Structure 1
Amino acid sequence: SRLEQHLDQMQKLRIVAPYDGVVMSHLAQPGQLVNAGNDVVEFMQANKLEVVVHVPFTFKSQIQSGSFWKVETLDNKTYDAEIIQFVPAATGSSHTIEVRLLLNSTDLWAGEAVNVLVPTQAKQEVIAVPRDALVIRNNGIFVYTVVEGKAHKVDVIPGMAQGEMIQVKGLLSEGDEVIIRGNERIRPEQEVQVIN
């Protein structure tokens, strides 16, 4: 019937988004004739934001699809964002690479300014101890470990610090107990009692 034809035509005029989101802007007006494939709205998926950052070409080895970078808001909230796309060539005179990250967050707003923390070297496993474990003397830097109830001096070379922890290089293994209180007064091989 004629009514069914009109309803069918009306159904073909309706555009349904494939996911929940927000219309950011209208690119065509109601009643305007558009070609197939032309955009009619700019649409944003509300819980999946895309972060675009231009990274110096010197960090190209850190850019890998599927890896995660930290995104930090101006109020110091940190989120993980996945690299979903990048152009493997430096752009223009700036010698930067455009990287697109997918951020799954409902806390942020589209257009909000963020900082992207770009890892400058590959992740590596390190030994880190509390800063208070370091004993600094004129003849070097060391920590005391506890082995069978006795203090053992282990020379270390401090590295990068983050918060209360500091990377150390030396003859330490994961799981070694280090002394963090009273270590300034301890002597090697002195008997100690561990208090957690």
Structure 2
Amino acid sequence: MKIEDTSGQDVVLAKPSSKKSWLIGITTLVVLVMLFSIAAPALSSWSSGDASISRERVRLATVTRGDLVRDLSVQGRVVAAVSPRLYATGQGTITFMIDAGDVVTKDQELAVIESPELTNQLKQEQASLQSQTLELERQKIQARKQALANQKSVDLAKVVLVAAQREKRRADKAYQYHSISQIDFEKAQDDLQNAELVFKHAEQDALLNAESLAFDIKTGLLQVERQSLLVKELQRKVDELTLRSPVNGIAGNLAVKQKNQVSRNQPILSVVDLSEFELEVDIPESYADDLAIGMSAQVSVNGQTYAANLVTISPEIENNQVTGRVRFATTGEANAHPAGLRQNQRLTTRILMESKNDVLMVQRGQFLESSSGRFAYKVIDDVAHRVSINTGVRSLSNVEISDGLAQGDTIIISSTDQFNNAERVIISN
């Protein structure tokens, strides 16, 4: 048996054309050159970059030009602008006429303090005043009687003087005609001098007695006036035992219970005037030196913005914060004063500290904390280059760029701590 070989299965192949091989080679070379030209910049960037990061992990922002307002956002607590607190003016038993939360009007009786000691003292002093007043009237009557007696003495002395003058004239004529003796003539002269002295002394005594009586009456008047002032003071204290509302509003919490004993100057209750509100804000210590009374502010209430002003700043710092008061604007604004505010309600307040026009600025981000505002990463063709910058005024949303960047530049505004101060960072897709 003859075993055949595989020669019957062989096929003669045609020799490939050399022209076709050249076309394939040229095409392959062109494709390789194109791929190399496309990949060369990327390879160059990768080779020159010190670090790389995914684009999804960074935030980019563009440097723009516009108006920048430096502001501060704080939480404010609504407090009544007028909220007087009433204190006990004396010691006694308190009786309230109202309950906490009642609506009260100005001068309405809120509570009465029963103080028997003070009331009794007032009655004693009133009786003393009445007694001194009667004593003064008695002194006035006595003064008139004494003045009448003095006038009587003067009149009598004058009558005696007139009689002595007449006897002197008779004696002069009689002595001229030698009708009386020398002794009788001299006696008439002595009687006249005596009458003149008596009349003169009577007038002087009357004047002195009148001055003395006027002095006594003036002293009595001063004593009565002093006693009257004392009674008025005690009456004022007794009247103040009735506590009255100083404003229209709502009675606050009662500090003591009904019919309890209270001491002088003890807090009793407060009255809240709900017609005027202010915001008490706690401001970080770092902004304390930048604040000034009169700065504009904006308060957000139920989606609306209301104009306000910073009216007070605390002179001391507590818990690294400064306390201030913001008052709603009352003129020139459509929404000057919001309605429906409640005591201790929390509201967001924006204090406008400074405004600058036409400045370079960029959106605020964590890169400021990472670099302390000294440098930023400017993005050019997916490569972030580290550049030195100078920042200026900062607001809640933007920061001023005073040097190092130009309008239209794109920078990384997210945290750059992970770059470890690299000069160039590749941003990959």
| Structure number with higher relative contact order (C-alpha < 8 Å, ≥ 6 residues apart) | 2
Structure 1 length-normalised TM: 0.48
As a proportion of its length, which structure holds more strand?
1
TM-score (norm 2): 0.24
Bigger Rg, which one: 2
